[in-house]
Structure 1
């Protein structure tokens, strides 16, 4: 089963959901805010993508961190921040056939699903 992770009201999530739906691809959506999030999932996802890829540095939540928090980021501290504030996770995260992808790009999705 294909899984899509993110926050439902995110514009990029809406684009990904629309694309998957239009191409008749069955998926399960997991909303970080509604369905929750745990450190085990973050650690497993980080092993596939790397925390640098997962961390949304463009978002308001990240920009509100103090300089010390930003300067001292490493996997443990970044994962703890993402657990405490899921809006810091770049969206969407797609898991398909045990492969992990971050972000939405129509061409990439076409390749992933061989369309």
Structure 2
């Protein structure tokens, strides 16, 4: 299982504690594997962009109107976190549905 997020994100740290056998990739430093961002956007659409983040609030209206994938590439912190990949299946966030699906009640 691979977790994509930010090493400074409290939720990502919580996930790492609950899924200790997973590997973590900091999207700000390591980037995302080819095709993963596109696959995540295809699966989650606009939910992939965290419009409640400080980064989002700092963007101009013109920047916010840009293509979501371009925004996420330019500002990795805009991605809702964590993005979890398990055997080709993607999960977004850390709500009770995701925890249950991953066996981390």
Partner of 2:37: 42
Structure (1 or 2) with the larger CA radius of gyration: 1
Report the TM-score, using the length of structure 2 for normalisation.
0.85
Shift of 1:106: 4.6
State the superposition RMSD in angstroms: 2.0
- Asked if 2 retains the 8 angstrom alpha-carbon contact of 1:4 and 1:95, the reply is yes
Q: How does 1:46-57 map to 2 (within 5 A)?
A: 46-50=41-45, 52-57=46-51
Residues 27 and 94 of structure 1: CA distance in aligned 2, closer, same or farther (over 3 Å): same
- Asked if 2 retains the 8 angstrom alpha-carbon contact of 1:53 and 1:90, the reply is yes
Which consecutive residues of structure 2, in runs of 5 or more, have no partner in the other structure? none
1:96 pairs with 83, 86, 95, which one?
86
SS at match of 2:100: helix
Partner of 1:7: 6
Report the TM-score, using the length of structure 1 for normalisation.
0.79
For 1:51-73, what per-residue CA distance to the aligned partner results, in whole angstroms no more than 9, with x for missing partners? Answer: x1110101111111112333x35
Which consecutive residues of structure 1, in runs of 5 or more, have no partner in the other structure? none
Give the structure with the higher percent helix.
Answer: 1
CA distance in 2, matches of 1:98, 1:19: 20
